[in-house]
Amino acid sequence: MSRIVIVGGHGKVALLLAPLLVQRGDDVVSLIRDPAQAEDVEATGATALVVSVEEASEQELAAAFDGADAVVWSAGAGGKGGPQRTEAVDREAAIRSMEAARAACVSRYVMVSFAGSHGADPVPADHPLRTYALAKLAADRHLVASDLDWTILGPGLLTLDEPTGRIDVGRFDGEAQAPTSRANVAAVIAAVLVDPASTGKVIPFRDGHTPIAEAIADVPDEYADLDS
């Protein structure tokens, strides 16, 4: 059994992830900022903990991570609150959470990032997701430079499609728009948490053809270069 803290615990991916982890025996703590969301979170079998990552200090986040085996970042401003909030949540709070994980001696950290943030040709300057993509990229750069045991996931455009359990790994043209079901993202997070070989890997993916365990088993190291 592992103790996993999910940041962004009431998010759509997180609410799909928590039951997968609980069902295999993990102890899940889901961070939320609105106490009214606790009931939904606890229905998954997770324990809800109210901490706004936007406001919480590194020390407060470290306290929330205390005793965990892994932190999963699945929070996001979701474009609400404009560019300033995108910066505050998707970049600054994410980076603070990485430092908090280090302070709490939680070495394993899984980031749900965005395919459009990576590669030689990320989303163009006039793209509506540009600010978001750059905020995620800045957080990812911080993670790659850290001494955490990180894995960065790069799904495309998230959908509410049913899980297929099958993905394609790789950089693709138009990857920012590549449909990727949140249920598959949840399954990929669950899989990398028990796959030490995924440490130090950036995994760009979308819905596809290969069973998840097989698809993540041999991800090329080259994707860890976020700029190519």
Ligand X SMILES: NC(=O)c1ccc[n+]([C@@H]2O[C@H](COP(=O)([O-])OP(=O)(O)OC[C@H]3O[C@@H](n4cnc5c(N)ncnc54)[C@H](OP(=O)(O)O)[C@@H]3O)[C@@H](O)[C@H]2O)c1
Residues that bind ligand X (CB under 6 A): 8, 10-14, 31, 33-34, 52-54, 74-78, 89, 112, 114, 155, 157-158, 182
In the complex, least distance from residue 88 CB atom to ligand X, rounded to whole angstroms: 8
In sequence order, what are the residues at sequence separation of 6 or more whose Cβ sits closer than 8 angstroms to the Cβ of residue 225?
none
Nearer to ligand X, 119 or 155 (CB): 155
Q: Give the Å distances, CA to CA, from 182 to 14, 121, 155, 186, 188.
A: 9, 24, 9, 6, 10
Nearer to ligand X, 60 or 66 (CB): 60
**2 and 69 Cβ atoms separated by less than 8 Å:** yes
In the complex, least distance from residue 116 CB atom to ligand X, rounded to whole angstroms: 8
Residue 123 three-state SS: coil
Nearer to ligand X, 31 or 219 (CB): 31
Closest residue to ligand X, judged by C-beta, is 11
Nearer to ligand X, 108 or 182 (CB): 182
In the complex, least distance from residue 195 CB atom to ligand X, rounded to whole angstroms: 20
Short-list 119, 159, 124, CA closest to 137: 119
